[in-house]
Amino acid sequence: MSRVIAVANQKGGVAKTTTVASVGAACVELGKRALVIDLDPQACLTFSLGLDPDALDLSIHDVLLGRVSAGMVVKQTADGVDLLPATIDLAGCETVLLTKTGREYQLRLALEDLPDYDLVLIDCPPSLGVLTINALTAAGEVLIPLQCETLSHRGVGQLLDTVHDVQRLTNRDHTVLGVLPTLFDGRTSHAREVLADVTSRYGLEVLDPPIAKSIRFAEAPAAGRSVLCTASRTRGAEGYRQLARNLLGLAAPEPDQVVDLSTPVADQAPTPTEVIA
């Protein structure tokens, strides 16, 4: 049975897409099978992994509406990750789903048609609508990327309210995996204070390692690849590799295979112009 994880936070720009693409690519590097699902009408994950959303005939939109099976839509990306892509058509999907019986279960039913993967990751839209509820209903766990700033902090509580509704109504076995610090700058007291407040307020586990800021994340989508391919030896890439190992229950690599993440790296310096999906 596949391990299915929704990556959700209704605040945009907290690295949901980057996390899904990077962890998926890391799983493939580790010799595992990974499926990533783009559930955002903006189709950033689809574009980031080298597909043109405007050129696709079929997408997750068609799957959710029952027009085709998920297996007919899955694409293999250059990183070796299987992808259920999105297009702008997904923007109208929520309206149609609202008229359907069992609308919260459409994604879960669609995944039953696919073979088992070691890891399935769902990139949720920055909202708490029907699409996100579909993701939470289909997934066994939710991972919450957390940019350690006040506005991102506020979104965690709102997401947890939705998670509790899902646990009560559509997926009693759903659990919160934890928060993943992203765009993290441990040199600032504000980042450390926000992270400490989230863990104490909500009792959430903090996943290691935190993902440091890097312009390399913004550059990767232009190549249609994950940061593991475009900037393989940066701290960000190594951080996502370690997260993937943790999720898959794999042992850490031998010492001579590890990049020293504590060593300053020029491309890790925070920049005010950095953009991360």
Predicted pLDDT of residue 255: 52
Please give the model's pTM, rounded to 2 decimal places: 0.88
- Mean pLDDT along residues 192-215: 85
Predicted pLDDT of residue 44: 95
Residue 146 scores a pLDDT above 70:
yes
Residue 272 scores a pLDDT above 90:
no
What does the radius of gyration of the chain's CA atoms come to, in whole angstroms? 18
Predicted pLDDT of residue 271: 39
How far apart are alpha carbons 125 and 207 in whole angstroms? Answer: 21
Residue 266 scores a pLDDT above 70:
no
- pLDDT of 208-232, one tens digit each? 888 988 788 888 888 888 988 888 8
Superfamily of domain 4-268: P-loop containing nucleotide triphosphate hydrolases (3.40.50.300)
Return the percentage of the chain with pLDDT > 90, whole number: 58
Predicted pLDDT of residue 156: 85
- pLDDT of 235-247, one tens digit each? 888 999 999 999 9
Predicted pLDDT of residue 254: 59
- pLDDT of 46-102, one tens digit each? 999 999 999 999 999 999 999 999 999 999 999 999 999 999 999 999 889 988 889
Confidence of residue 162 (pLDDT cuts 50, 70, 90): very high
Mean model confidence pLDDT for the chain = 87
Predicted pLDDT of residue 215: 83
How far apart are alpha carbons 7 and 24 in whole angstroms? Answer: 12
Predicted pLDDT of residue 263: 37
What is each CA distance from 112 to 12, 43, 116, 161, 226, in whole angstroms? 29, 23, 9, 27, 27
3-state secondary structure the chain: CCCEEEECCCCCCCCHHHHHHHHHHHHHHCCCCEEEEECCCCCHHHHHCCCCHHHCCCCHHHHHCCCCCHHHCCEECCCCCEEECCCHHHHHHHHHHCCCCCHHHHHHHHHCCCCCCCEEEEECCCCCCHHHHHHHHHCCEEEEEEECCHHHHHHHHHHHHHHHHHHHHCCCCCEEEEEEEECECCCCHHHHHHHHHHHHHHCCCECCCCCECCHHHHHHHHHCCCHHHHCCCCHHHHHHHHHHHHHHCCCCCCHHHCCCCCCCCHHHCCCCCCCCC
